[in-house]
Chains A and B, each alone.
Chain A
Amino acid sequence: MRRREFLCGCGCCGLLSATPAFALADGEWHMPMRFQKPEAGGDEGGLWALLDREEAKLKRSRFIVRDKALNDYLAGIACRLAVDHCPDVRVYVVRTPIFNASMAPNGMLQIWTGLLLRMANEAQLAAVLGHEIGHYLARHSLDRLRDAKSRSAFGQFLGMALAAAGAGNAGLLAQLALAAGMFSYSREHEREADRIGLELMAGAGYAPMEASKVWDQLLGELKAESDWTGDPATRSVLFASHPLEDERRDALATRAAALTVPQANVGGEQWRQVMAPHQWEFLEDELRRRRSGESLALLDRLIAASPTDGVLYYFRGEAYRLRAADGDRLRALDAYELAEKQVNAPVELYRSRGMLLRAAGDEAGAKQAFARYLSLRPTAEDAELIDSYLKQEIR
């Protein structure tokens, strides 16, 4: 078969197809030396040239989040985890509301904003990045790239072009995730990357227990969505790319418990500060997915961690308002009220309150809320519309 030839053909092309980069005996792991860029001309060289070109494209993409503070911060985390390999890792933040990250064998590490939104602290992000860097160090992604199917998907994603079977297909975002290609790692590879990831976390001084919490959170969101829709959790787009296994979470927890990290760092406060300027946009993206079960579970979690953040209460209200099921109007109004009590109460809550009251026939209450909104945000994009409400006679 052709594929066999392809693989056999590179039997002599050096380190890439040589024995595994390292052997991972339990409890003992050695970081491999930095990888050298393969020579151009060989099979691997072709692969690299492809990746480099895709990376050049990605760099120019209009979906890359370019905020320097965020990028520097994330690159710093990646660097601490990758240690010697730090110079080979390049982080890109891609604006897509899905939980996903992937690392290519040339060192291009992509993090999607839907993932950033879901991390509770720096240690959790380190867990995910450690896992991806684990794949990189163990050269899993190279194997995967050699696998034709995932390679095509990979290329497709990197082209930043989504070939949609139809824009009304519910699985579109899932296709994106699928195309990003985390999919095709074998169970063995996932487990190995989990183990390396934990080692890297511990080595960088992060609390390894946070790794299993990442999975716990995701499982919680999945369950919430499934409870709400009545569909089995396997249909979720959010995690289309990872087989969800309680077992994996538990294995991570068990291993983490065995690792001792003196003065383990979680980095919750720092994380929240870095994320704060982006949270609004990421949450807007999140709510547009209309997975209210997942979004509400996420918001509950974020609120539990930051109980005085008015923005989060506002978005909880938005999630209920958009869901518009029985009783959601009151739930939304309650959430706006809580938002209003916080120091950083967003102005938009008055607009949303106004809409809900207006629809319920409480025109006086609506006017009051709209007036408040307009006085605080006179140049809002919908100022004319709001103003027209204020000018209407109360019936």
Chain B
Amino acid sequence: MMRWLLVPVVFLLASCAAMTKVGPGETVVRESLTVRLGQGWNKLAIGTGRVEIWTTEGLPLDTLRFYVDVKDGEPLQDVRGANQKQVPQFRAAMEPREVVEMFEVFSVADGSRFRLAKLAPASFLGTAGFRFDYTLMRKSDEVELKGFGYGAIRDGRLTLIVFEAPKTHYFGKVAPRAEAVIASARITK
């Protein structure tokens, strides 16, 4: 029932754009991360909580997710209705693999299947970070997705950017653009 009460709210929201333009050019993400964009992206402008989400072809088709400056003791995302002890929290001393393990939890929360394909050191945000590649079998429509993420922990804070799209066509099409965004990322604050 509660959701129906949202309808009036929704009408208010409907009058303002849910997707806003980002780029081309310099763009600031969550106040402290700056990226340089060759082409424009679309940003989900409402209610995404801790994470910022961009897309080129639409949310069901490709997403670029930014987790910026996650502090020790915070989760990557908030989980409604979960006990604190059932949601993984970031720890400043985490190994790259443990960051990936933390990310996985959210990917499989709807019953989807996650498989890590590669985890390797990578330069990110001008520091020694890591990159991981994975596949995800989406439970809802059984579309197979491919994804990769770059992460780094600086001054005890995690920044993680993850790209994901259907293996058929969309990954190959958008991944280079996502890579370019990630390569341009730097911390400005």
Contacts and interface: CB of A to CB of B under 8 A. Distances in A.
A–B touching in complex (CB under 8 Å): yes
B109 interface: yes
A109 B5 CA distance: 40
A385 B130 contact: yes
B146 to A, nearest CB: 14
Given A61-B142, A162-B140, A288-B108, A381 B81 contact: no
Interface in B137-151: 137, 139-142, 144
Contact of B120 (A95, A290, A322, A382): A382
Interface string A342-355: 00000000010001
User: Which secondary structure dominates chain A's binding surface?
Assistant: loop
Interface string B105-130: 11011110110111111000000001
Nearest to A173: B111
B13 interface: no
Contacts of B117: 381
A176 interface: yes
B121 A384 contact: yes
B142 A358 contact: no
Nearest to B130: A385
A226 to B, nearest CB: 10
Interface stretch (A121-129, A227-235, A254-262): A227-235
A291 B141 CA distance: 26
A32 to B, nearest CB: 35
Nearest to B91: A324
Contacts of B81: 169-171
Interface stretch (B26-34, B38-46, B96-104, B166-174): B96-104
A162 B111 contact: yes
Interface residues of B, number: 42
A229 B81 CA distance: 13
Interface residues of A, number: 41
Contacts of A235: 83
A137 to B, nearest CB: 30
A62 B142 contact: yes
Contact of A228 (B79, B85, B113, B144): B85
A235 B81 CA distance: 10
Interface in A148-190: 160-164, 166-173, 176
A323 to B, nearest CB: 8
B109 A322 contact: no
Contacts of B113: 63, 95
A204 B91 CA distance: 52
A367 to B, nearest CB: 14
A96 B86 contact: no
B141 A161 contact: yes
A382 B119 contact: yes
Contact of B80 (A168, A176, A325, A359): A168
Interface in A215-262: 228-231, 235
Contacts, number: 106
A263 interface: no
Interface string B66-83: 000000000001111111
B111 A172 contact: yes
Contact of B137 (A62, A169, A385, A388): A62
Contacts of A62: 137, 142, 144
A390 to B, nearest CB: 12
A106 interface: no
Nearest to B141: A161
B139 A170 contact: no
A292 interface: yes
Given A176-B111, A385-B96, A385-B121, A160 B79 contact: no
Contacts of A176: 110-111, 139
B82 to A, nearest CB: 4
Contacts of B156: none
Most central of A172, A288, A290, A322 by chain B CB within 10 Å? A290
B80 A169 contact: yes
Most central of B77, B95, B116, B142 by chain A CB within 10 Å? B95
B77 A359 contact: no
A172 B86 CA distance: 13
B14 interface: no
Interface of A: 61-63, 95-96, 160-164, 166-173, 176, 228-231, 235, 285, 288, 290-292, 322, 324-325, 351, 355, 358-359, 381-382, 384-385, 388
Given A62-B137, A163-B140, A285-B108, 13 more contacts: A161-B140, A161-B141, A164-B110, A168-B106, A170-B82, A170-B86, A172-B111, A173-B111, A230-B85, A235-B83, A292-B85, A351-B97, A384-B121
